[in-house]
Amino acid sequence: VCIHRVRSCSSIHFIKSKYVCVFDKSALKFSHQQRLFRTSAVSCGQIVQFKLSDIGEGITEVTVKEWYIKEGDSVSQFDSICEVQSDKASVTITSRYDGVIRKLHYSIDDIAFVGKPLVDIEIDASKGVAPEEDVVETPPMSHEEHTHQEIKGHKTLATPAVRRLAMENNIKLSEVIGTGKDNRILKEDILNYLAKQTGAILPPSPKAEIVPPLRKTETVPAAPKDKARKIPVPVSRPIAFSGKDKTEPVTGFQKAMVKTMSAALKIPHFGYCDEIDLTQLVQLREELKPLAELRGVKLSFMPFFIKAASLGLLQYPILNASLDENCQNVTYKASHNIGVAMDTEQGLIVPNVKNVQVCSVFDIAVELNRLQSLGSAGQLGTSDLTGGTFTLSNIGTIGGTYAKPVILPPEVAIGALGKIQVLPRFNGKGEVFKAQIMNVSWSADHRIIDGATMARFSNLWKSYLENPASMLLDLK
């Protein structure tokens, strides 16, 4: 720690001796006038050539590999400027100054030389010579005010990092009590000020810096040393949220979804919902699960839903069709390639199980397992993701009851399955019993599908699932 202090002192000394002559009264006057206009773009700062320092091991040249800043960016002391490489060593070059980058002397992949200029940094005049030291700043004023007010020589001392924190929280430094040397405003003072405003304890800053409690309790209750400064009366003032909006381009999976859903908009959707009593199916699955596990396969409800859908499609093939662009022809697809919506880390993906019409429930389970593991590993192939003719979305695994699914073109129907809930229902004898109820929400293309067809298909699908034994009769 002592070393740290000494280092910063010596660097200040170094800068002072070289540049102190520049900051005479005339320079100050100029910047004084500039404050009236509250602009920060133009400043008559000194341009310093920041040279590439010694890398060690007798190395004289390195390759510039990446710039972290560009011309015009503001940097603070210790900010990373670039990454250079020399013989298997990657070196992060950090800035020695606060200022604005005015020139990069090298492009990516250029050879840079130790001791030669790397970047030109314009040290901001109004910020003073030595970074991390006191910074002179005036309280913010409105444009109208400047003609009526004179600067009263009101100095507020704070480091650039502290000033940034104050600015982010819309705090006037003049209203903050400084507890540092010469009434310098420290970061703790800003945090205290904010805490007083809201009466809350603020969480510690995300960096590893820990605010020592000792200093705070000792110095805060002390009376302000500067008589001219008043302690502001705490007015209920909302803390300005310092988060910023983030805009990024739509790419990848999101882009795919945008394309699909925009195309789906052209389809006039209608919905049809129902509830299914899965009590018997739940029992059946319990019995079959261990059998499937013996064969190394995880058996969920989906294979049953999928197979039942395929049986239904045999009776109502129009739901497994496709309407051409001009709505002139309907193509009845021979294969039942039933898509299963999957939620992966990257987003929504819909692989399909091919030819369900000739698959057993077990075959479907095997295929689902394969698609699921490929899907989570991000390794699904194009054949898995194309050729779908009908889709089921088991949103119930996440939650929800009824939904309004969107048809995936070029298909004409889709079903969303809600979660299975245990609900009271009446049986044939008028008794209340525990039923395993799941809701289904169908959407279909109203250009070629009518409500009656959808309803009948749904009833058939429902009957297979409510009475699984009936599936045996129609299995091919």
Partner 1 sequence: MVLQSLKNCLWLSCVLRTPKACFWSTASGGLIIQSVSNDVYQNLAVEDWIHDHMDLEKQQVLFLWRNSPAVVVGRHQNPWQECNLRLLRQKNIKLARRRSGGGTVYHDLGNINLTFFTSRKKYERMANLKLIVKALKALRPQLDVHVTDRYDILLDRQYKISGTAAKLGRTSAYHHCTLLCNADKFVLSSVLKSPYKGLKSNATPSVPASVKNLFEEDPSLTSEMLLDAIAKEYAMQHQIDHHINLINPADETLLPGISNKTKELQTWEWVYGKTPKFSVSTCLNMAYKDSVLDVKVNMDVKHGRIEGCHIDLPEQWLPPGLYSELVKSLTGSKFCPNETTSLVTTLLRVCPQDDELHSRWSLLCENMIMLM
- Candidates 42, 210, 327, 472: give the one binding partner 1 (CB under 8 A): 210
Report how far apart, in Å, the C-alpha atoms of 420 and of each of 5, 100, 423, 436, 455 are: 65, 61, 9, 6, 21
Give the residue with the Cβ less far from partner 1, 31 or 86.
86
Q: How far is the CB of 98 from partner 1 (least distance, A)?
A: 15
Minimum CB–partner distance for residue 187 and partner 1 (Å): 10
What is the DSSP track for 156-188? --B-HHHHHHHHHTT--GGGSPP-SGGGPBPHH
Asked whether 123 and 45 are in contact (CB, 8 A), the reply is yes
Of 16, 32, 65, 105, the one binding partner 1 by CB under 8 A: 65
- Interface with partner 1 in residues 82-111 (CB under 8 A): 83, 85-92, 94, 108-109
| The two three-digit tokens of residue 278, written as one number | 């899965």
Task: Look up residue 322 and give its two tokens.
Answer: 């496709």
Interface with partner 1, residue 217, by CB under 8 A: no
| Contact stretch for partner 1 (CB under 8 A) within 237-245, 286-294, 308-316, 344-352 | 344-352
Tell me the pairing of strands 321-323 and 117-123.
Answer: unpaired
Considering CB under 8 A, how many residues would be counted as binding partner 1?
Answer: 57
Residue 295, token pair as written in the block:
């064969």
**By the rule CB under 8 A, 383 interacts with partner 1:** yes
Write the DSSP string, 201-260: PPPPPSSS----HHHHHHHTTSPPS-TTPPPPP----PPPP----------HHHHHHHHH
H or E segment at 190?
helix 187-198
Q: Is 214 in the site for partner 1 (CB under 8 A)?
A: yes
458 in helix, strand or coil? helix
Pick one of 33, 386, 459, 467: the residue that binds partner 1 (CB under 8 A).
Answer: 386
Q: Fill in the DSSP letter of residue 266.
A: T
As a whole number of angstroms, the distance between CA 463 and CA 331 comes to 27
Closest contact distance (angstroms) between CB of 250 and partner 1 is: 9
Shortest distance in whole angstroms from residue 368 CB to partner 1 = 18
Identity of the residue, 113 or 253, whose beta carbon is nearer to partner 1 in the bound complex? 253
Nearer to partner 1 by Cβ, of 199 and 249: the residue is 249
Q: Are 218 and 209 in contact (CB under 8 A)?
A: no
> Applying CB under 8 A, which part among 40-48, 54-62, 171-179, 415-423 lies near partner 1?
54-62
Contacts of residue 190, Cβ cutoff 8 Å, sequence gap at least 6: 162, 165, 166, 169, 171, 176
- Smallest distance, Å, CB 58 to partner 1? 11
Q: Alpha carbon of 296 to those of 213, 287, 364, 376: distances in Å?
A: 59, 15, 14, 19
Measured from the CB atom, the residue of 4 and 143 that comes closer to partner 1 is 4
List the one residue from 9, 44, 263, 334 that touches partner 1 (CB under 8 A): 263
Q: Is 322 in the site for partner 1 (CB under 8 A)?
A: yes
Q: Does 181 bind partner 1 (CB under 8 A)?
A: no
Q: Please state, as a whole number, how many other Cβ atoms lie within 10 Å of the Cβ of residue 79.
A: 14
**Does the protein bind partner 1 through residue 3 (CB under 8 A)?**
yes
Question: Catalytic residue at 120?
Answer: no
Closest CB to partner 1 among residues 12, 256: 256
Q: Is residue 317 near partner 1 by the rule CB under 8 A?
A: no
Q: Which of 324, 358, 404, 426 binds partner 1 (CB under 8 A)?
A: 324
Residue 324 catalytic? no
Quick check: 369 binds partner 1 (CB under 8 A)? no
Three-class DSSP category at 55 = coil
Question: Token pair 């590999």 is at which residue?
Answer: 65
Q: So which residues are the catalytic ones?
A: 446, 450
List interacting residues with partner 1 (CB under 8 A): 1, 3-4, 55-57, 65-66, 78, 83, 85-92, 94, 108-109, 207-212, 214, 249, 251-253, 255-257, 259-260, 263, 322, 324-325, 331, 346-347, 349, 377-383, 385-386, 408-410
